[in-house]
Structure 1
């Protein structure tokens, strides 16, 4: 398969022989549309492929994390299956022709691709925090609030919040930084009714997922969701990835109980190494092999803990 160059690095495979053409690459995911479709805006379905790329501090790093794309896809599909009753963007990845079943996902990306309907996406990352950590902790130290949500005094890094809070972010165009925003700003962006629905849905899904994680000895500290409107019905629909190690911060409940609030099942290992070895100017350094393997192991451990597989 021939690679497609985008922004100076290899992003996607050439899948035209399978009926798909490359339409867009984000930091981690590549989108393909039917070869007969003009562009992404006019597509009714999209092939979403999770790569092994890893990003941190708004940079795509090298090398990638082996097997990461498959792990992210597997975990998203597992969570979509457990969030039944909530509309999502998945559509059937096979077609029946008489007694023949045709798989619509090419062999080259099997295991790390999802077939989804295209939506009118809302320009908001719907972030929910059950614990004070990461950028939320940094903001709390300055303002005793997160995204305009006031919090009690005296909290420490990693503390559980009195109740989960909704702290949305504006999805900036590619190459620009996402921006934490207030709920009032989301009203300006999408209207009061939609803004309220996004908040309610996000808090509800977070509550459901937290309970499932807790049963498996895990803490869901925070996560982000993305939603779009179904182009036919207007129904708000869960999209993109959901509750993966790239979009969520998971902790081991037993370790947390013993005072360890930093050992998460995500790319925090990568962030920590970059913080210690890079001043965030110029291109980031290449990740050492041991950091890559430790990160891959954490991704694998999370999916094993959640799914039992």
Structure 2
């Protein structure tokens, strides 16, 4: 199966992220989701077949399912002007046009269960990002209520979990409160719809930006398996990491490698791991009627 690891389109490059290549169309951006995959802030040498198309379809599903809560930057799938005709095959299903915004310098993370860095932080001090939690919680426990745990957006290196108060110092108290409330509402919508499909939304992150007119928009991606932790509901049991339908499968594999220090260059992935990731992304998309 072929993979798309990079693009070279006849437009100015706005930026190249770990997964997406973004091109400047003036007041809009052309975002192309490649098949690249990253973990621990390192891009793997191999791509995952179909990943970019699946991410685009899942994000489009969630933008539509949450637009009554907050407007988003999605402006549709592109037509095919002459300049893109030669790239039609590569772009089909993985390219979207979005409104250009000024991204806010924070990630809006919501956790409904205790896992990942939140679990490590809780073990160390009984709280996550300054939010005190009840004692005695176990790995993968459902939290009494979803919690908002923001993080910085690092251009290089790892994002840093921060308190709400520190976030308010970065973006202002009024905007921070609005971002928190919107993120919690988005998480609850995602968790509710996911539960109907037999999966638990353990945690997720959202990104927001301000349009040229100053309107707050949900940007980047939403509730995808790259930005969220999804667990199989019928396999969930506190005290252990449940089977997931996201890239935790990749992280778990990388944690078994004794000779990799989580710094570039990333190690090559065995075919079994590549196919395992692909199967999980396909499973998640299929549960929402996406093929």
TM-score by length of 1: 0.86
2:75 counterpart residue number: 91
2:288 counterpart residue number: 306
CA spacing shift, 1:104–1:182, aligned 2, 3 Å: farther
1-structure distance, mates of 2:290, 2:30: 27
CA RMSD in angstroms comes to 2.1
Choose from 61, 80, 83 the match for 1:78.
61
Asked if 1:194 corresponds to 2:185, the answer is: no
Larger radius of gyration: 1
Choose from 8, 12, 18 the match for 1:14.
8
More strand, by proportion: 1
Quote how far apart the aligned CAs of 1:261 are: 3.4
CA spacing shift, 1:138–1:94, aligned 2, 3 Å: closer
**Alignment check: 8 A CA contact 2:229 2:248 kept:** no
Structure 2 SS opposite 1:225: strand
Map Cα deviations across residues 73-107 of structure 1 (whole Å, 9 max, x no partner): 00000111111322000114457xxxxx9699751
Over 6 Å off, 4+ runs: 101-105
2-structure distance, mates of 1:192, 1:92: 33
2:42 counterpart residue number: 59
Quote how far apart the aligned CAs of 1:251 are: 0.6
Quote how far apart the aligned CAs of 1:291 are: 0.5
1:147 counterpart residue number: 129
2:153 counterpart residue number: 171
CA spacing shift, 1:308–1:231, aligned 2, 3 Å: closer
Q: 5+ residue gaps in structure 1?
A: 1-9, 35-42, 96-100
1:283 counterpart residue number: 265
The more displaced of 45-54 and 103-112 is: 103-112
The more displaced of 285-294 and 105-114 is: 105-114
Structure 1 SS opposite 2:59: helix
Aligned length: 282
2-structure distance, mates of 1:141, 1:258: 15
2-structure distance, mates of 1:285, 1:27: 16
1:5 counterpart residue number: none
Higher RCO (CA 8 Å, separation ≥ 6 residues): 2
**Alignment check: 8 A CA contact 1:94 1:104 kept:** no
Q: 5+ residue gaps in structure 2?
A: none
2-structure distance, mates of 1:23, 1:120: 13
Quote how far apart the aligned CAs of 1:284 are: 2.7
